[in-house]
């Protein structure tokens, strides 16, 4: 070929590679096998080969297997005959590939006669006159090769054609790697989905169990409470002060148990209440909470007049505010305690802020503050579920809750409410 023909061939070959790579990039990898066969045909036709193919090396059992094949019209396929070929039959072939070099035979008939299992004995029955086999290297590891056979005539590959075929081989490695990565990701996503389903099932079973047990405990507690009160009232004139104090202590502990059971029942039923969402004003919610909570006289509570109207379950939102306000009261300082309630917003969320100037939270407890039954102080009236309940309510409605705090510098709780 003259210089212009060579340049023209190079341009067409590069355009072909670009076309093939574009197909790989844009393709659904479910169709990868068809794409590989199609690209083998295009490259085979371009270099005037009669057969193009891909082999994989298996160095565990030292064999090589034909995995893909394209044949020109009138050429017999050989893929079924080229499985589990011992690599010891092709030592020169393998040696070249381990050096990341092409194995090229310009004329098979000129190979030496080296026995029944020699290279010439393998190639001639397939009608091969010329061949080239390009190694496939992934992360420095030899994994296979892509080859081109000339059956009808001898073919002399130029250095430029060899270089282009190396590019094609690397392209095949990359597309296979991409498919393996996507399959791995898909497998991980499937495992994750199974784990999530199992976790949801276990959480539901645990929630149902906690609800059932807590419900079953309430009746015996009521009976014990009634019995203790009956014994106490009927024997006031017979018991001394120490005995009566013991009865009062038992009643207080029963009250504590009842409060704990009610809280657990509430926590386990958060996802069970299925009420129709309504629009309501958060200022009304805060005002209702302040009426229900016993607020010390020295407390100053500052509430923004511009709290938004939101859509959701008003009962549950009241619980959130009540738990967070009560938490601020429980962990306040004795000197001029203040609670501030305010709101900001963006296109997607309202962000509510409840800030106090209380005792704050130690750094090591910040990440655990929303854990169930987490109690930083020995508070008789606390079951350790107020903040977890608030978190569960907010997250079940698509929001987020978090805290910023320093010890002795107060705490600021934030939570978001989706606008839609």
Q: Tens-of-pLDDT digits for all 420 residues of the chain?
A: 566 666 776 777 677 777 777 777 666 767 778 888 888 898 888 888 999 999 999 999 999 999 999 999 988 888 998 899 899 888 888 999 999 999 999 999 888 887 666 778 888 888 889 999 999 998 889 999 999 999 989 988 888 888 888 888 888 888 878 778 888 888 888 888 888 887 777 666 666 656 666 666 666 777 787 888 888 888 888 888 888 888 788 888 777 777 666 666 666 666 655 566 899 999 999 999 998 888 888 889 999 998 999 998 898 899 899 999 998 998 887 788 999 999 999 999 999 999 999 999 888 888 888 886 665 555 545 556 788 888 988 998 899 999 999 888 899 999 999 987
pLDDT of residue 380: 43
pTM beyond 0.85: the answer is: no
Give every CB contact of residue 298 below 8 A, 6+ residues apart in sequence: 336, 337
- End-to-end alpha-carbon separation of the chain, Å? 70
Q: Look at the block and give the residue holding tokens 């029955």.
A: 125
Nearest residue to 381 (alpha-carbon basis) of 253, 291, 281: 253
What is the phi-psi region of residue 104: left when phi exceeds 0, alpha when psi lies from -120 to 50, beta otherwise?
A: beta
Give the distance, in angstroms, between the CA of residue 197 and the centroid of all CA atoms in the same chain. 13
Q: 131-150 b/e with 16+ CB inside 10 Å = b?
A: bbbbbbbeeeebbbbbbbbb
Relative orientation angle of helices 241-268 and 159-234, to the nearest 10 degrees: 150
Q: Which two tokens stand for residue 324?
A: 């967070």
pLDDT of residue 284: 94
Residues in the chain: 420
**Rounded Cα–Cα distance for residues 34 and 44 (Å):** 15
Taking the CB of residue 294, how many other CB atoms lie within 10 A of it? 6
Angle at 361 between CA 359 and CA 363, to 5 degrees: 140
Q: Look at the block and give the residue holding tokens 């977890």.
A: 388
Q: Which two tokens stand for residue 71?
A: 């044949």
Q: Which two tokens stand for residue 97?
A: 């590939």
Give the distance, in angstroms, between the CA of residue 288 and the centroid of all CA atoms in the same chain. 41
Using DSSP's 3-state secondary structure scheme, residue 147 falls into: strand
């Amino acid at each position: 070929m003259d210089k212009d023909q060579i340049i023209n061939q190079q341009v067409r070959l590069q355009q072909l590679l670009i076309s093939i790579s574009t197909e790989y990039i844009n393709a659904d990898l479910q169709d990868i096998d068809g794409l590989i066969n199609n690209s083998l045909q295009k490259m085979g036709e371009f270099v005037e080969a009669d057969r193009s193919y891909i082999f994989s090396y298996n160095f565990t059992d030292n064999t090589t297997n034909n995995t893909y094949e394209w044949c020109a019209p009138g050429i017999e396929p050989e893929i079924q005959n080229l499985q589990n070929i011992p690599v010891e039959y092709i030592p020169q072939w393998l040696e070249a590939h381990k050096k990341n070099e092409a194995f090229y035979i310009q004329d098979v008939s000129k190979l030496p006669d080296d026995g029944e299992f020699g290279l010439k004995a393998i190639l001639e029955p397939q009608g091969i006159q010329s061949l080239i086999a390009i190694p496939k290297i992934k992360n420095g590891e030899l994994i296979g090769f892509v080859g081109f056979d000339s059956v009808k005539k001898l073919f002399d590959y130029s250095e430029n054609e060899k270089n282009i075929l190396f590019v094609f081989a690397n392209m095949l490695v990359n597309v296979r790697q991409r498919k393996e990565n996507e399959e791995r990701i898909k497998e991980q996503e499937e495992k994750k989905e199974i784990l999530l389903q199992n976790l949801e099932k276990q959480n539901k079973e645990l929630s149902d169990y906690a609800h059932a047990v807590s419900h079953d405990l309430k009746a015996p507690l009521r009976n014990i409470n009634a019995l203790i009160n009956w014994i106490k009232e009927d024997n006031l004139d017979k018991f001394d002060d120490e005995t009566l104090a013991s009865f009062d202590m038992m009643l207080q502990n029963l009250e504590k148990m009842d409060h704990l059971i009610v809280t657990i029942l509430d926590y386990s039923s958060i996802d069970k209440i299925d009420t129709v969402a309504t629009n309501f004003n958060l200022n009304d919610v805060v005002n209702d909470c302040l009426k229900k909570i016993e607020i010390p006289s020295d407390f100053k509570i500052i509430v923004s007049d511009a709290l938004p109207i939101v859509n959701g379950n008003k009962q549950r939102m009241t619980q959130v505010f009540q738990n967070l306000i009560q938490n601020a009261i429980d962990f306040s300082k004795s000197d001029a305690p203040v609670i501030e309630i305010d709101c900001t917003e963006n296109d997607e969320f309202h962000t509510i802020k409840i800030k106090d100037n209380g005792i704050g939270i130690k750094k090591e407890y910040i990440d655990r503050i929303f854990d169930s039954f987490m109690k930083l102080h020995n508070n008789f009236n606390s079951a350790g579920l107020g903040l977890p309940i608030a978190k569960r309510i907010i997250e079940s409605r698509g929001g987020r809750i978090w805290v910023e705090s320093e010890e002795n510098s107060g705490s600021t709780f934030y939570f978001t409410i989706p606008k839609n």
